[in-house]
Amino acid sequence: MVERALGGDVEAFGKLFEVYSKPVYRFIFFKVGNREVAEDLTSQTFEKALKGLAGFDEKKFFKTWLFTIAKNTVIDYYRSRKNSFSIEELEDVFPDSEDVTNDVQVSDEARRLFGALSKLKKDWKRIVEFKYIFELKNEEIAYITGMSEGNVRVILTRAIKKMKHIFRHERS
Amino acid sequence: MKDLDLNRIFKEIRKTISPDEKWLDSQTRKFSSKHDGKLTLTISILPFNALAMNRKLMAIIVSGAIVLTGLVGVPVAAQAKDVGPGDFLYPVDLALEDAELALASDEDDVVLLNEQLEERVGESEDSEESGEVSEAIELYNQKVDQLEELLASLCQEGSESCDEDTFSKIETVGFATLRHVEVLAGVFDKQIEKGNESAADAIIGAMEHSLNGHDQAVESLQKSRENSEDGDDGETSVAEEELKAGKDKAKQKIEEAKTRGKGRSK
């Protein structure tokens, strides 16, 4: 589909939007915590992707490329509001998923899951979010984090086990 | 205690944290029309007999044609839709299908191959000429082989976790292949009526092929259950039970068709 879009296929980019807009939206929502802002920044992300499509390296993963654009779009958004932050500082400004979802109607189970997620180590939590909320494949997570696919798989298994343990512990 | 299904909760979260549907529709329309006028190629500029062309060569030509922009006309993809065996554009249609498959992920491949199987079955139903039926059937068998291979590679131990989506896609294939046996039985009768025995024989082969595809789907479902993150609870799903029951009926259909074929040729 990416190749078709690169070739100028009329509908291919629209299809790409259909496939990737939800995970990108979720990723942005988790960084800004506001539906309208998340929609606006998602739209901006795809505008930028469309403009930069010709420069996309086909050897890379399209989805990770898109997430990089989304992340930069969020950084631009925060900068426009408070331009004294450095990129490193901005990483810390991103709200926690547990806080972000405070204003969203989710079930108790989901809220407890966020609670369990927040108790994981920072890199484990990030990998779980990439996998289960932003729907990235293991190889894409490995590409973004610089880890091996095997390492990603092991962390995911341990993180899920740990989350289940936290869940059960809380129940009892 | 029942095992905790985190996948289900994550799925619920993904569903909850989704953009507004109306916004999605409007944006999809917006991004679909951004490229208007760029991809264009009239089929009339193809200076050769597409029917006689090798499919791989055709795929290369189609891909090459797609990157050409600025020519006047309609996209090949749009023109090549709804064509069947015997049509001038049919090889273009098949080449586009191959290109689509090459670009999709394994799980999307399951869906695409299943759609392509449906198309081949539909073509065998619609074709009047014996040769065209045989062509559709041959392609159907090839697609079943491809699908079987793909299903066998999914949800292996140590591969990425098999989620519910993959499971339901495999289920769809399992049910689709059973339906194909029924449809093909109708095509078989039509060909027998016409006295096209060679096409009828090929159809019996395709029905058996469908059943092999079905077996692979059931096997993959079992494997995906065993290799799932939460482990195998040893219980088969309702769908798996239905698939097994459906197989017996399909086998019976094939036997009946064989008997009708034999009776006719006596």
Write out pLDDT tens, residues A107-133.
788 888 888 888 888 889 889 988 888
Identify the band that residue A44 occupies on the pLDDT scale cut at 50, 70 and 90.
very high
What is the per-residue pLDDT for B163?
Answer: 67
What is the per-residue pLDDT for A39?
Answer: 93
Q: What share of chain B is helix, strand, coil (3-state, %, to 5)?
A: 75, 0, 25
Q: Are A5 and A13 in contact (CB under 8 A)?
A: yes
Radius of gyration, CA atoms only, chain B: 22
What is the per-residue pLDDT for A107?
Answer: 79
Q: Do A25 and B10 touch (CB under 8 A)?
A: no
> What is the arithmetic mean of pLDDT over B235-250?
78
What is the per-residue pLDDT for A54?
Answer: 78
- Whole-angstrom distance, CA of residue B122 vs CA of residue B199: 15
Instruction: Write out pLDDT tens, residues B209-228.
Output: 889 888 888 888 887 777 66
Identify the band that residue A83 occupies on the pLDDT scale cut at 50, 70 and 90.
low
Identify the band that residue A12 occupies on the pLDDT scale cut at 50, 70 and 90.
confident
What is the per-residue pLDDT for A85?
Answer: 52
Angle at CA B241, nearest 5°, toward B237 and B245? 165
Given a cut of 50, is residue B56 above it in pLDDT? Answer: no
* Nearest-CA distance B229 → chain A (Å): 8
Given a cut of 70, is residue B175 above it in pLDDT? Answer: yes
Instruction: Write out pLDDT tens, residues B57-97.
Output: 444 444 444 433 333 333 333 344 456 666 655 666 666 66
- A62 or B47, which is more confident? A62
What is the share, in percent, of chain A residues with pLDDT greater than 90? 10
Q: Are B45 and B74 in contact (CB under 8 A)?
A: no
Give the closest of A1, A153, A157 to B103, CB-based. Answer: A1
> What is the arithmetic mean of pLDDT over A48-54?
85
What is the per-residue pLDDT for A25?
Answer: 92
What is the per-residue pLDDT for A9?
Answer: 67
- Show Cβ contacts of residue B58 under 8 Å, excluding neighbours closer than 6 positions: B50, B91, B92, B94, B95
What is the per-residue pLDDT for B197?
Answer: 81
What is the per-residue pLDDT for B64?
Answer: 44
Residues of A in contact with B4 (CB under 8 A): 164, 167-168
Q: Do A35 and B28 touch (CB under 8 A)?
A: no
Q: Whose CA is closest to A61, among A146, A147, A143?
A: A143
What is the per-residue pLDDT for A24?
Answer: 93
Q: Whose CA is closest to A32, among B10, B30, B19?
A: B19
- Whole-angstrom distance, CA of residue A31 vs CA of residue A37: 10
Given a cut of 60, is residue A136 above it in pLDDT? Answer: yes
Given a cut of 90, is residue A40 above it in pLDDT? Answer: yes
Instruction: Write out pLDDT tens, residues B188-215.
Output: 888 888 888 888 888 899 899 889 888 8
Q: Do A13 and B12 touch (CB under 8 A)?
A: no
Q: Do A26 and B32 touch (CB under 8 A)?
A: no
The kind and range of the H/E element at B50 are: none
- Whole-angstrom distance, CA of residue A155 vs CA of residue A163: 12
Residues of A in contact with B99 (CB under 8 A): 3-4
Identify the band that residue A51 occupies on the pLDDT scale cut at 50, 70 and 90.
confident
Q: Is B69 helix (H, G, I), strand (E, B) or coil?
A: strand
- Whole-angstrom distance, CA of residue B42 vs CA of residue B12: 46
Q: Do A168 and B77 touch (CB under 8 A)?
A: no
- A10 or B260, which is more confident? B260
For residue A66, the number of C-alpha atoms closer than 13 Å in the C-beta half-sphere is: 27
What is the per-residue pLDDT for B50?
Answer: 37
| pLDDT, averaged across chain A | 80
- B256 or B51, which is more confident? B256
Q: Do B27 and A46 touch (CB under 8 A)?
A: yes
- Which residues 31-60 on chain A approach chain B with CB closer than 8 angstroms? 35, 38-39, 42-43, 46, 50
What is the per-residue pLDDT for B58?
Answer: 47
What is the share, in percent, of chain B residues with pLDDT greater than 70? 60
Given a cut of 80, is residue A158 above it in pLDDT? Answer: yes
Residue listed under structure tokens 């498959």 = B101
Instruction: Write out pLDDT tens, residues B104-128.
Output: 566 667 777 777 778 888 878 777 7
- Whole-angstrom distance, CA of residue A110 vs CA of residue B8: 10
**Residue of A2, A6, A10 to mutate for B, most B C-beta atoms under 10 A:** A10
Tell me the torsion sign for CA atoms A99, A102, A107, A112: positive
Predicted complex ipTM = 0.81
What is the per-residue pLDDT for A42?
Answer: 95
